[in-house]
């Protein structure tokens, strides 16, 4: 009986933690609504926190002429709440892009791509005047790299890029059974401690066969809305 009680206790604790984390994600997602410009095309990210943001957008959808989605999953979710989704090629410059992050440091440099949409996320971020990251406090780190760095790779280059990652001190793991919206594969690189994120982002981009990597350091977030037990805090890039 003691084992069952212990299992139930751990299960309840895990559910409480997940519920609390979801509450923080929902809080920052709702806080981001105040930054959405009226009458401009909006860029929308991918992932659990971005999903809360999409849910919150339903209340102001009449102010949003269209949105650019960073993934097929996001596009479908936006359409369900009645927001038109347009191709970036026809959208022009985007006023604001809102997305979550897997990790973010004090310089608002991020690791993204846990959901596999890093290439489209990076394109939308690059095409946007302002980028807001919405995250709970667990995503804040001093040094990027504890979360495995995703790299989208042309399938033919998988082994070659894997060997290059080992040379950099990383442990690349092929994300089995996953294909990106662009038809490529992902290597998740464990064991990195990234002290100079812009330099590593640039270096990885030079490797033949890499489509893009999950470092958002050359173009970091402009604003971080972070959910804490004391409420939503706003951090602006200095």
Catalytic residue positions, numbered: 121
Query: Among candidates 117, 109, 119, 113, which has minimal Cα distance to 140?
Result: 109
> Checking DSSP bridges between strand 103-104 and strand 110-111, what pairing results, if any?
antiparallel
Rounded Cα distance between 41 and 115, Å, is: 23
In angstroms, the Cα distances linking 85 to 14, 107, 162 are 36, 31, 36
Round the CA-based radius of gyration of the chain to a whole number and report it.
Answer: 18
- Please spell the DSSP secondary structure of 139-190, one letter per residue: GB-SSBTSSPEEEEE-GGGHHHHHHHHHHTT-EEEE-TT---TTS-EEEEEE
Ramachandran quadrant class, 82 (left: phi over 0; alpha: psi -120 to 50; beta: rest): left
What burial class does residue 184 get, using C-beta atoms within 10 Å of its C-beta: 0-12 exposed, 13-18 middle, 19+ buried?
Answer: buried
The set of residues, in sequence order, having a beta carbon less than 8 Å from that of 141 and lying 6+ positions away, is: 103, 104, 105
Dig out the tokens for 33 from the structure.
């609504």
- What is the CB-side half-sphere exposure of residue 20 using CA atoms within 13 A? 12
């Amino acid at each position: 009986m003691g084992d069952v009680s212990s299992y139930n206790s751990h299960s309840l604790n895990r559910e409480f933690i997940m519920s609390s984390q979801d509450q923080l994600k929902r809080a920052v997602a709702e806080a981001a609504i105040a930054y959405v410009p009226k009458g401009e095309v909006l860029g929308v990210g991918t992932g659990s926190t971005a999903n809360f943001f999409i849910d919150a957008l339903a209340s102001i959808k009449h102010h949003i002429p269209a949105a650019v989605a960073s993934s097929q999953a996001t596009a479908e979710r936006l359409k369900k709440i009645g927001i038109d989704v347009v191709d970036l090629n026809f959208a022009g410059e985007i006023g604001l892009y809102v997305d979550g992050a897997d990790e973010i440091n004090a310089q608002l440099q991020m690791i993204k791509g846990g959901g596999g949409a890093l290439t489209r996320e990076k394109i939308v971020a690059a095409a946007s005047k302002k980028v807001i990251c919405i995250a709970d406090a667990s995503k804040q780190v001093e040094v990027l790299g504890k979360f495995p760095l995703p790299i989208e790779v042309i399938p033919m280059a998988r082994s070659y890029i894997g060997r290059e990652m080992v040379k950099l001190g990383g442990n690349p793991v092929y994300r089995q059974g996953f294909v990106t919206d662009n038809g490529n594969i992902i290597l998740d690189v464990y064991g990195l401690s990234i002290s100079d994120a812009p330099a590593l982002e640039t270096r990885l981009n030079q490797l033949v066969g890499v489509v893009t990597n999950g470092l958002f350091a050359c173009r970091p977030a402009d604003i971080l809305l972070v959910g804490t037990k004391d409420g939503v805090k706003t951090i602006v890039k200095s």
